[in-house]
């Protein structure tokens, strides 16, 4: 009974902390504003604007909806993973996922954003199990040091042979990667080409490669959709808002491909 009481107090403490965070306070404020404009006579346009803004923010910052949306993208990536594990001499194409600041040396792996780190670590772990495999790391963001430079240096620090690492430091977008490395990927038999990127990013990445007529196996990593406890599911959180933002980014990217890039 005492343990149950402690667990309940801990859960209530965490919930209170989330409600008092900037995201939680904003959600509460918008809820109160919605009640206020509904209680007192206001112009219809003002009421509708308040309702829409409140609904969008709370829905986007709620872990329940954010994880469902992210999970839908990740499930699509899983469905595209139809190839068996990479055979010997495979080419593993790794897409960068962002960089922070302006690192002055390629040994500053801390400048890589979380997505870049997770993709690289997963790719190296996979490549180390595949004899004679090659890592082709693509990422052109950065000034003097690019994403691919940082990721390549980290792969070497992790013990992967430098002779089996290739870098594409010119591609700044997923679509550019598909265009720029098409010739290199085409040199490898189709059953030995693998694309490594975050699961939520995989559907859009596969669209880009298919548009370039590049047959490549999807190998999604970095799954982040979570099964949450009841109290966490409905409490607005900054992590959920970040996930929702990524979902919107991917959906807008796919829509941009279909309506503009592929025309």
CATH number of the domain where residue 153 is located: 3.40.50.620
In a domain, 11, yes or no: no
Cα 10 → chain centroid = 30
Query: At 134, is the secondary structure helix, strand, or coil?
Result: strand
pLDDT of residue 236: 84
Torsion of CA 154, 158, 160, 166, to 10 degrees: -10
In a domain, 13, yes or no: no
In eight-state DSSP terms, residue 112 is: B
In a domain, 227, yes or no: no
Helices (H), the chain: 2-19, 22-39, 44-61, 63-80, 114-127, 147-157, 174-180, 182-186, 202-211, 230-233, 238-256
pLDDT tens-place string over residues 110-154? 999 999 999 999 999 999 999 999 999 999 999 999 999 999 999
pLDDT of residue 2: 47
Q: Is 227 exposed, middle or buried (0-12, 13-18, 19+ CB in 10 A)?
A: exposed
In a domain, 208, yes or no: yes
User: Looking up tokens 């691919």, which residue turns up?
Assistant: 148
pLDDT of residue 131: 97
Q: Compute the Cα dihedral for 221, 171, 158, 216 and give only its sign.
A: positive
Query: pTM, whole model, 2 decimals?
Result: 0.84
In a domain, 46, yes or no: no
What residues make up the domain containing 198?
A: 73-221
In a domain, 119, yes or no: yes
Task: Pick the closest to residue 92 from 112, 70, 71, 121 (CA basis).
Answer: 121
Low-confidence ranges of the chain (pLDDT < 50): 1-2, 4, 6
C-alpha 164/C-alpha 161 separation (Å) is 6
Q: How many domains does the chain have?
A: 1
pLDDT of residue 48: 81
* CB-based contacts of 112-116 (< 8 A; 24+ apart in sequence): 112/147, 112/150, 112/151, 112/154, 115/198, 115/201, 115/222, 116/147, 116/150, 116/151
pLDDT of residue 35: 81
In a domain, 28, yes or no: no
In a domain, 129, yes or no: yes
């Amino acid at each position: 009974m005492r343990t149950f009481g402690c667990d309940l107090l801990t859960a209530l403490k965490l919930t209170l902390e989330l409600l008092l965070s900037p995201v939680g306070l904003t959600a509460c404020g918008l809820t109160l504003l919605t009640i206020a404009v509904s209680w007192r006579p206001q112009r219809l346009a003002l009421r509708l604007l308040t309702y829409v803004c409140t609904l969008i923010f709370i829905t986007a910052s709620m872990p329940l909806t954010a994880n469902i949306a992210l999970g839908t993208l990740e499930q699509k990536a899983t469905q595209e993973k139809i190839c068996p594990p990479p055979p010997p001499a495979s080419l593993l194409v790794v897409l960068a996922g962002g960089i922070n600041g302006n690192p002055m040396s390629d040994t500053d792996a801390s400048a890589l954003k979380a997505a870049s780190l997770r993709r690289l670590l997963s790719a190296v772990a996979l490549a180390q199990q595949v004899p004679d495999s090659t890592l082709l790391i693509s990422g052109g963001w950065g000034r003097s040091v690019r994403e691919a430079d940082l990721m390549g240096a980290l792969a070497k620090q992790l013990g992967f042979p430098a002779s089996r690492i290739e870098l594409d430091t010119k591609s700044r977008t997923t679509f550019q990667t598909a265009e720029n490395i098409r010739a290199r990927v085409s040199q490898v038999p189709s059953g030995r080409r693998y694309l490594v990127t975050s699961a939520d990013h995989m559907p859009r990445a596969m669209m880009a490669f298919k548009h370039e007529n590049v047959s490549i196996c999807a190998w999604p990593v970095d799954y982040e959709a979570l099964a949450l406890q009841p109290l966490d599911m409905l409490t607005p959180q900054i992590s959920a808002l970040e996930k929702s933002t990524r979902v919107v980014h991917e959906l807008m990217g796919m829509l941009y491909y279909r309506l503009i890039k592929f025309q």
